[in-house]
Amino acid sequence: MLNIAVFCSGKGTNLQAIIKTIHEKDIEAKVSLIISDKEKAYCLERAKHAKIRAIFVNPKNFPSKQKFENRIIGYLKEENIGLIVLAGFMRMLSPFFVQNYSNKILNIHPSLLPAFKGSANAVADALDYGMKITGTTVHFVDEKLDNGPIVLQRAVEIAENDNEDSLRQKIQQQEHILYPLAIQLFVEGRLKIEGRRVEINPENYNPQD
């Protein structure tokens, strides 16, 4: 059984979708730990409802980023975490942290990377740019922001009458399918990183699942 930690700073709708899918599909993994850098983040509430250990780690309580991350690493070790899932975690991890969990951290970004790489408002940015298509990307995390090898992507069409809210909703609907699927592929050992490419072992893999 692989222990997963989810890091989140906000609503936690992806967290919810991940917990639900792991349960429904009987995936050999367990969300054992939720870490948030925001005390009032709703993802912490969701974690409590799901009876998962949930910890608010206040960055302001640490004299340096390294000390903050060391505390988090302590929690990860306690729970024997084998995969870290960033789901709306609005804080960049240091190279030190990433190297500690090399190829064991996933992130989701609400655009078709590398479009709107590094943007904290990728949904609004796609609208402002006049894009006709945007989407979402699950990728491995490396030392640079929104940069690691891409696991899965899904496109979303932008309609004439879309606004930020409606477009975010469409993208999140796709995220709630895509992120659990990427996690399942990881848990089943079917992702192989070759440079920038992630090969997916096709056994039982149906992108429409």
Residues in 14-53 that interact with ligand GRF by CB under 6 A? 14-15
Binding window for ligand GRF (CB under 6 A); candidates: 104-112, 152-160, 182-190, 191-199: 104-112
- Residue in 23, 49, 109, 176 annotated catalytic: 109
Q: Report the half-sphere exposure of 58 (CA within 13 A, side-chain side).
A: 4
Query: Which amino acid type is present at position 16?
Result: Q
**CA-to-CA distance for 160 and 133, rounded, in angstroms?**
11
Task: Count H helices and E strands in the chain, helices first.
Answer: 6, 9
Do the Cβ atoms of 112 and 126 come closer than 8 Å? Answer: no
Q: CB nearest ligand GRF: which residue? A: 88
Among residues 38, 46, 109, 170, the one that binds ligand GRF under rule CB under 6 A? 109
Among residues 32, 36, 172, 184, the one that binds ligand GRF under rule CB under 6 A? 172
Whichever of 8 and 52 has its CB closer to ligand GRF, that residue is 8
Residues in 125-164 that interact with ligand GRF by CB under 6 A? 136
Whichever of 165 and 194 has its CB closer to ligand GRF, that residue is 165
Cα separation of the two ends of the chain? 22
Residue 54, strand partner residues: 34
- Under DSSP, the state recorded for 71 is H
Does residue 184 bind ligand GRF (CB under 6 A)? no
**CA-to-CA distance for 116 and 146, rounded, in angstroms?**
9
Residue 133, strand partner residues: 157
Does residue 110 bind ligand GRF (CB under 6 A)? yes
Binding window for ligand GRF (CB under 6 A); candidates: 13-21, 32-40, 74-82, 194-202: 13-21
Residue 34, strand partner residues: 6, 54
Q: Report the half-sphere exposure of 65 (CA within 13 A, side-chain side).
A: 7
Does residue 69 bind ligand GRF (CB under 6 A)? no
Whichever of 34 and 191 has its CB closer to ligand GRF, that residue is 34
Q: How far is the CB of 108 from ligand GRF (least distance, A)?
A: 4
Does residue 84 bind ligand GRF (CB under 6 A)? no
Nearest to 153 by CA among 196, 92, 109: 109
**Interacting residues with ligand GRF (CB under 6 A):** 8, 10-15, 87-88, 108-110, 136, 172, 175
Residues serving a catalytic function are 109
